[in-house]
Amino acid sequence: MRKNLEQIAKEDGRYDSRVIKFVSEGLSYTAKKVASEPKHVSGQTLCEGLRKLALKKWGPLAMLVLNNWGVKTTRDFGEIVWLMIDNNLMSAQPTDSIDDFNDVYDFQTVFKDNFTF
């Protein structure tokens, strides 16, 4: 039986289930709007798509929302992706690595310093 997002989040304990749903939604958004190769989305490309989606959904509150859900760096997005992979909600290519999510961008810079209305 497949676990739901709430069960996965509760068992893991690091992230709110809403951010797991957001990352899942962000994968679809990225594949359609950002990725040049929609059949495979790299960690860096997913982070870019998640940045765009967060700004679209929450504007200047994006960093506050993500931080409240336990996400403070792009590495956290990778941790969530690997959590979803471990629970068969996503798949990875053999060349994919959680390290692909390391330091893709700084949250303060992209969500606060560079934010424009």
Average pLDDT along the chain, 117 residues, taken 10 residues at a time:
84 96 94 74 95 96 97 98 93 94 97 85
Q: How many domains does the chain have?
A: 1
How many alpha carbons lie under 13 Å from residue 52 in its C-beta half-sphere? 17
d(CA 1, CA 100) in angstroms, rounded, equals 30
Domain that holds residue 34: 5-113
Report which secondary-structure segment, H or E, holds 11.
helix 5-12
pLDDT of residue 94: 92
Tell the burial category of 88 from Cβ atoms under 10 Å away from its Cβ (0-12, 13-18, 19+): exposed
**pTM score, whole prediction:** 0.92
